[in-house]
Amino acid sequence: AQSVSQHNHHVILSEAASLELGCNYSYGGTVNLFWYVQYPGQHLQLLLKYFSGDPLVKGIKGFEAEFIKSKFSFNLRKPSVQWSDTAEYFCAVGSYNTDKLIFGTGTRLQVFP
Amino acid sequence: EAGVAQSPRYKIIEKRQSVAFWCNPISGHATLYWYQQILGQGPKLLIQFQNNGVVDDSQLPKDRFSAERLKGVDSTLKIQPAKLEDSAVYLCASSLDNRRGQGQFFGPGTRLTVL
């Protein structure tokens, strides 16, 4: 069955700390991978996406993610978080030829000054 | 450009009542999605439209949920009758078309509470 696992449900960091959020997927065939972010009181926004090519993808606000095909993983990273990164982060996977997405359960990130 | 619009933002009803949600996608977006997001979970796709045709409704509980997208623009999602477990945020999203690479743009959602 197609699924997405996000291992960290709640992460608490201090400003300037490094961030890595895990995402693993189970999906037959070629996939597209996404990270969405939901800031408090706002709607879901696309952070970054991978379709093909360089497995290291850079997104907005200094975020990046690395696709490791052998590990079925697409972990999100940021070298130095800010208080404004406090949000919920969702990993999602889609099939190669459609925009249909399956989401993980999300990781709540709290950054303290 | 204007984003995806949804209304109402909040709705409280009693079980067995009916409720309807409205979505206006980004202008020109052919594909429209309805998701259900239960507290503590990620969004789950309920139904996907391409223009005014249904592409995927495999996860829509058709005994109580219905959706339509007349004229290929606005869409409504209805629950009749509602159950307690329908309490969730209902998200609408749209994309330019259903080919990969377009990305989905989400609305603010409607938070439904069923008492």
Which tens digit of pLDDT belongs to each residue from B63-95?
999 999 988 899 999 999 999 999 999 999 998
Of B46, B55, B27, give the one whose Cα is nearest residue B110.
Answer: B46
Give me the total of CB pairs closer than 8 Å, taking one residue from chain A and one from chain B: 62
Q: Is the pLDDT score of A98 beyond 90?
A: no
Both tokens assigned to A46: 């696309």
SS3 B98: coil
Cβ pair B102:A43 closer than 8 A = no
CB atoms within 10 A of CB A29: 8
Residue B102 belongs to some domain of the structure: no
Cβ pair A4:B104 closer than 8 A = no
| Residues in chain B, pLDDT under 50 | none
CA of A40 vs chain B CAs: smallest distance (Å):
11
Residue B74 belongs to some domain of the structure: yes
Distances (CA, A) of A43 to A12, A80, B90, B92, B108: 22, 24, 12, 10, 5
Residue B92 to residue B107: CA distance in whole angstroms: 6
For B100, which of A43, A97, A102 is closest by C-beta distance? A97
pLDDT score for B8: 97
**Number of independent structural domains in chain A:** 1
CATH code, domain with A48: 2.60.40.10
DSSP 3-state helix, strand, coil percentages of chain A (rounded to 5)? 10, 55, 40
Q: Does B76 touch chain A (CB under 8 A)?
A: no
**Number of independent structural domains in chain B:** 1
Residue B52 belongs to some domain of the structure: yes
pLDDT score for A45: 92
Q: Which domain holds residue B66?
A: 5-97+107-114
Q: Which domain holds residue A105?
A: 3-112
CATH code, domain with B27: 2.60.40.10
Q: Which residues pair with A61 in a beta bridge?
A: none
Cβ pair A103:B43 closer than 8 A = yes
Q: Which residues of A touch B109 (CB under 8 A)?
A: 43
Residue B37 belongs to some domain of the structure: yes
Q: Is the pLDDT score of A92 beyond 70?
A: yes
Residue A66 to residue A2: CA distance in whole angstroms: 20
Cβ pair A101:B45 closer than 8 A = yes
Q: Which of A23-27, A28-32, A54-58, B81-85 has the lowest mean pLDDT?
A: A28-32
pLDDT tens, position by position, A35-86: 999 999 888 999 999 988 899 999 999 999 999 999 999 999 999 999 999 9
The band of A27, judged by pLDDT with boundaries at 50, 70 and 90, is confident
